[in-house]
Structure 1
Amino acid sequence: MHTCLTVVKIPTGRGKVSKFYCQQSQENSLVAIFPDENYNSDRPLLYYAKKAALIEGYDVLCISYRRKLTWRDMGLYTIDIEADSGTDIVRKCLKKTYKRIFFVSKGIGTEVAGIVSNRLGYEKIRNIFLSPTYHTIKHIANSRCIVVVGTNDSIFTQNCISKIQEHRNVEFISIKDANRHLEVPDNINKTMEVLGQVTGTYARFFKELV
């Protein structure tokens, strides 16, 4: 990890701030992280996305939402409101020129990340969608992306999986026995294996040149 790291707090609204971890390097990449319901960028799956990006010398933007999002917001106007804010925040970071832009999102955050990707241009963004929702499918179809889903996900079912597997731009990773949280209930060893697998996917994804 680079030692010359500046942390900038960007107001999101309603007293919330997004954190922008900026490396000294003038030519690097940006990773923006879009959290889930009750799952911010300090929780394991997203923390290690941030960690993997910083190790590569990339800048990291940890998005905070203006209001608390829940599963009840799926597909609703409240997602668009957060996407408005998220787009503005990402654009502020884009005052610096980046070689590549990556989005990592989880759960309800995949909808926000998908809309922001659309507004900035799907072709400009590489996405990792963790446990997406049905409403994210249209964004997955238009993105060069990796989608990670547990076989016991109660929301992103086999019907959803079949829809995204039709697209050659999508790399699909199925995690055996994992639930929507990408955990294996009552089995800490398997849960840690899942975390390791997803973290390894980040490391590979961030190193890809094209």
Structure 2
Amino acid sequence: MKIAVFFPGIGYRFEKPLLYYSKKLAKECGYDTLVDVDYQIRKTANIRGNAKKMQEAFEEACASAEKFLAPISWKEYDEIVFISKSIGTAVAAHFTNFYHLQAKQIYYTPLAQTFLAEPTPGIAFCGTADPWVPEPDAVLCQCAKAHIQSYRIEGVNHSLEGNDTMKNIEILQQVMRRTKEYLQENRSG
């Protein structure tokens, strides 16, 4: 059996393109159990650029996520993938280590906070015009240190989008193609 677990961002929920289509791809790739970790973060105002508030949001997300993850019998699954967005990348990294899982990781727009949670290898997608990541090269460097294959996408924001709708659709297609290829790879951990 295969399980795919989805960790959203604060404002980037499951119906948004990256998570919506990655869920469809996971199902197509044989992941028979799909879990949305629908944590709630109460204090979302003025988080960006505030390390203390970001840490509080991370801790709140982890506490909330535990109720979705605690009942899962991880040993029942031959393959586990965590697909995460923004703050969800930090939460996914935390729980991979907390449960000592050999999980594939797909990190959409990881934050500096993600690397404090000691992420495990996987793939990541980062935009160069992301206001949540003022130094994308630093994040890409952290990805390399953590053995995360990263894809740098020029001129896109935290949703991996720019100002040109047709270009955004092309970018989404490229990201989903790489996501599918990664999902189809043999177990990596």
Q: Which TM class, normalised by the smaller chain length? A: 0.7 to 0.9
Report the Cα distance in structure 1 between the residues aligned to 2:171 and 2:29, rounded to whole angstroms. 22
- 85-94 or 58-67, which deviates more: 85-94
Q: How many pairs align? A: 179
The structure with the largest strand share of the pair is 1
From the superposition, tell whether residues 82 and 37 of structure 1 become closer, same or farther in structure 2 (CA, over 3 Å): closer
- More relative contact order in 1 or in 2 (CA 8 Å, sep 6+)? 2
User: Whose Rg is larger?
Assistant: 1
From the superposition, tell whether residues 95 and 128 of structure 1 become closer, same or farther in structure 2 (CA, over 3 Å): closer
From the superposition, tell whether residues 175 and 127 of structure 1 become closer, same or farther in structure 2 (CA, over 3 Å): same
State the identity %. Answer: 25
- 65-74 or 77-86, which deviates more: 65-74
TM score, norm. by length of structure 1? 0.76
Equivalence map 1:156-195=2 (5 Å)? 156=133, 157=135, 158-167=137-146, 169-185=147-163, 187-195=164-172
Report the Cα distance in structure 2 between the residues aligned to 1:96 and 1:164, rounded to whole angstroms. 28
Amino acid at match of 1:146: I
Deviations 1:155-181 (A, max 9, x none): 3222232233234x2101111221121
Gaps of 5+ in 2: none
**Does structure 2 retain, via aligned residues, the 8 Å contact 1:86–1:116?**
no
Deviations 1:53-93 (A, max 9, x none): 11123111011113346361754233223213323422323
TM score, norm. by length of structure 2? 0.84
Equivalence map 1:50-61=2 (5 Å)? 50-58=23-31, 59-61=33-35
Q: Give 2:14's aligned residue.
A: 41
Provide the aligned C-alpha RMSD in A.
2.1
Amino acid at match of 2:34: V
Amino acid at match of 1:37: I
